Amino acid sequence: MGADARLRAGRGRGGRTLVLAACGGLLATGCAAMPDSGDVQAVRGANPGDSQVRVYAVAPRENADPDEIVDGFLEAMTSDDPGFATARKYLTQKAARNWKPEQSITVLSTAPDRQPADRNADPGTQGRAYPISGRTIATVDARHAYQPKSAVEYAEAIHVVQETDGKEKRWRIDALPPGLVLGEADFLRNYRSVNRYYFASGEDLLVADPVYIRQRQDPVTRMDPVTQTVKALLAGPTHWLRPAVDSPFPSGTELRKGVTTLTSDDQSTLKVPLNVKADRFGGEVCRRLAAQLLVTLGDLPSVRVDQVELQDVDNKVVCQLGKGQAADFEAVQDTGQAETPYFVGEDGRMMALTSSGKDSVQPTEVPGPLGKGAVRLGSVAVARGGTRAAGVSEDGGSLYVSSITTEQEQPQAVLRSSAGAAVDPKDRLSQPSWDGRGNLWIADRAKGHQRLVVVPDGTGKWIEVRADWLTDDTRVESLRVSADGVRIALLITREGRTTLQIGRIERQDGMDEQVVSVDDLRPAAPRMESVSSVSWAGPSRLVVVGREAGGVQQIRYLETDGSTSASSVLPGLNGVDGVAAPYRESEPLIAASGNDGIVRLMPGATWQPVVKSGSEPVYPG
C-alpha cells in the first residue's frame, strides 16, 4: 500500500494495520500496492518522501466489490507501475483510454479519504459514487511546476459501474478526478525537486527554475531521472518565470525520438541527441544550452557529468562544454574561499565573524565607517564581492554605502526615508539587500509613501520600483534579492498577518532610465501562519523563521515554489529574531536569538553560541 495510506473508518478494512500483514502472501482484498523492501511497520510510520521504498501495484481480484475497486485504484496510483497499467485495470475500457495521469497531480496533506458510496447521488442506475476528500496543499501541472495551496478542501468523487467482460460482469471505475491524486508522503516518495536553469533576460546569469520529476523511471514516458530532467529543461521555463528569462535554443528543440535513457560515459561526458539540425543551434546558442544542461544536472545524485556533448538530428557533434566553462554563467562564482557572515554589534557597529580556529570564530569590526560607529547602525547588507556593504542607521532614516576592506570618510546618505522624524524605525527603511549584479535593494516603509527602491551599483541614482501590489494597507517588513537578480523574497504584512511572498523582477529600458518592476507575487510558505525572517540559501532555496497555525516558532528550509519536505525542519532555537544562510551548504547558518545572542549551526551539529549580543546577521547578498 502507499506510504501515506492510513486507516479510514469509511473503508471498513480493519485488517490493514501492518504493511506486510495486510498485503503479504495472501494479497489481501483491496491491497493495490506493495513495498518491496523495508521492515514491518505501522502504516502511518512510513517516512514521508522515503525514495528507497518501492511500491508495486496489484491488479483487482476476481469478483472484487465496488469498495475494493475504489480503494485499490487509489493505492495503485502511488506505484511505479509502467504506464500505470495495473491502475488502469480498475477502470472501464473507455476510462482507461481517456485517463491521463501525466496531466496533473493534486497533492493532499494525507492520502485521499474515501467515504462510503452515496447511493442517493446516482438514482435509477446500478452505479455507485464514492466521495473522495482531503485538504489540497499543492498542485503540479503538466510542465512539472509546483503550486502551493493554503490547505483548501478537496472534494471529488469516483464513480463505479458494472462492465461486462465477456460473459462476466465486473465493477470498474468509469468517472474519476483528472490526473493523479496523492498524499504528500507518497508524492515526496515518488517525486523530487530539480532546478532547471535559464538565462536571465539579456544577461549571462543563470536563474534556477524548480520543477518536480519522478525519483525513478517515469511510468508514462519510461524515462530515467536524467532524461526526464533534460526533457523538462528543453520544454522551457515555468509560466511564472518565463517573462524574466531567455531560452536560447530554437523552438521545438527536443530529445531525439525514442530516447529514454541518458548516461555519462567513463569520461563523465553526457551525450545528448537532439531532434534539430546543427545549423539551427550552432555556435553560442549550443554553448549556452550546454551550460544550462551542465548546471541543471549538477545536483542530480544519479549521474556525474563533467562535460556535455550536444548532437544534432544526424548524430553529428555540434558542441562540447565542460563544467568549468559552464560555471562562468552561475550567479555566484565558487572561489573556494569560505563565506564570511556579518552582524550588527550591540554598539551599532558592523562586525564580521572571522575564523579563529577549526571550531571557533571571532567577531571583529570591519574597516571603514560602518565598523567605526560614526553612525549607529540598525541593519546591514554585504555586496556579493565582499568588499562593500550597505548600512541603515539605527533610526531607520538613512542608507549608507561604503567599503569594508579599506578605510574611508563617512559617506553621504545614498537614500533617506520619506517618513518624518518622530516615527518608529519600523516605519522607515528596511534592511537592504544586494543582488549578484551589484544593485542594492531596500524598502521605504513610510506610511502613505511606501515604496521599493533599487540603487544601481549601490551608488547610482536610485530608482523607484514599480509594484502595483504595494498599497496603503501593505507593508514590506523585509526583503532579500536572489543572487541572479530575477527573484525577490518579501515579508509582507496585510491585515496584521506577515507572510512570505516571492516576486519576479523584470527590467525594461525606458527613455531616461531603466524601468524595474516586481510582479506576480506568489506565496512561498502558505502553511505558515506568520513569518518573521527569511534568507536565501542557494540558487532556489530559502531558510525561513515562522510559525504554523497553533504551532511554535520553527526554522526550516523551503523551496522558492513553496514546496518542502519532512527533513527540512532545523533544530529548534528559542526567540529567533533573524537568520542568515550561506550560498554554499558547507558553511554554517547564523541566527540572532534574544536569549542566546549570535549563534551558528554547523552542518550536522546543534546551535552553538558565538557572541553574547548582536542582531541582524547576514551573509553576502
Report DSSP letters for 344-357, one per residue: E-TTS-EEEEEE-S
Q: How many residues does the chain have?
A: 621
The answer to whether the beta carbons of residues 277 and 313 sit under 8 Å apart is yes
**Region 321-328: what's the mean pLDDT?**
92
**Region 136-153: what's the mean pLDDT?**
91
With a cut of 80, say whether residue 503 has pLDDT above it. yes
Q: How confident is the model at residue 358 (pLDDT cuts 50, 70, 90)?
A: low
* Whole-number pLDDT of residue 364: 92
Q: Which residue has the higher pLDDT, 336 or 36?
A: 336
Whole-number Å distance between alpha carbons of 351 and 339: 14
* Whole-number pLDDT of residue 19: 37
* Whole-number pLDDT of residue 548: 86
What percent of the chain is modeled with pLDDT above 90?
69
Whole-number Å distance between alpha carbons of 376 and 392: 9
With a cut of 70, say whether residue 271 has pLDDT above it. yes
In this structure, how many other beta carbons lie within 10 angstroms of the beta carbon of residue 283? 11
Q: How confident is the model at residue 25 (pLDDT cuts 50, 70, 90)?
A: very low
Q: How confident is the model at residue 35 (pLDDT cuts 50, 70, 90)?
A: very low
Q: pLDDT of 86-110, one tens digit each?
A: 999 999 999 999 999 999 999 999 9
With a cut of 70, say whether residue 34 has pLDDT above it. no
Strand order across the 528-536 sheet: 528-536, 541-548, 553-559
The answer to whether the beta carbons of residues 605 and 567 sit under 8 Å apart is no
* Whole-number pLDDT of residue 397: 94
CA distances from 223 to 10, 86, 105, 254, 362 (A): 38, 19, 18, 14, 51
Whole-number Å distance between alpha carbons of 521 and 464: 18
Q: What residues form DSSP beta bridges with 541?
A: 559
* Whole-number pLDDT of residue 395: 94
Q: What residues form DSSP beta bridges with 362?
A: 354
* Whole-number pLDDT of residue 44: 33
Q: Which residue do the cell numbers 542594492 mark?
A: 440
Whole-number Å distance between alpha carbons of 363 and 223: 51
The cell for 78 is 502511488
Paired sense of beta strands 146-165 and 180-183, if any: unpaired
With a cut of 90, say whether residue 598 has pLDDT above it. yes
DSSP string, 399-458: EEEEESSS--PPPPPSEE-SS-SSS-GGGSB---EE-TTS-EEEEE--TT--EEEEEGGG
Nearest-CA neighbor of 8 among 111, 128, 108, 155?
Answer: 111
With a cut of 50, say whether residue 437 has pLDDT above it. yes
Q: pLDDT of 178-209, one tens digit each?
A: 999 999 999 999 999 999 999 999 999 999 99
**Region 50-58: what's the mean pLDDT?**
70
DSSP string, 466-499: B-TT--TT-EEEEEEE-TTSSEEEEEEEETTEEE
Helix (H, G, I), strand (E, B) or coil at 113: strand
Least confident of 245-249, 333-337, 477-481, 571-575: 333-337
Q: How confident is the model at residue 423 (pLDDT cuts 50, 70, 90)?
A: confident
With a cut of 50, say whether residue 457 has pLDDT above it. yes
With a cut of 80, say whether residue 47 has pLDDT above it. no
Contacts of 156 (CB under 8 A, 6+ apart): 131, 132, 133, 177, 181
Where does CATH 2.120.10.30 sit in the chain?
342-618
CATH of domain 342-618: 2.120.10.30
Contacts of 359 (CB under 8 A, 6+ apart): none
With a cut of 90, say whether residue 512 has pLDDT above it. no
Q: How confident is the model at residue 8 (pLDDT cuts 50, 70, 90)?
A: very low
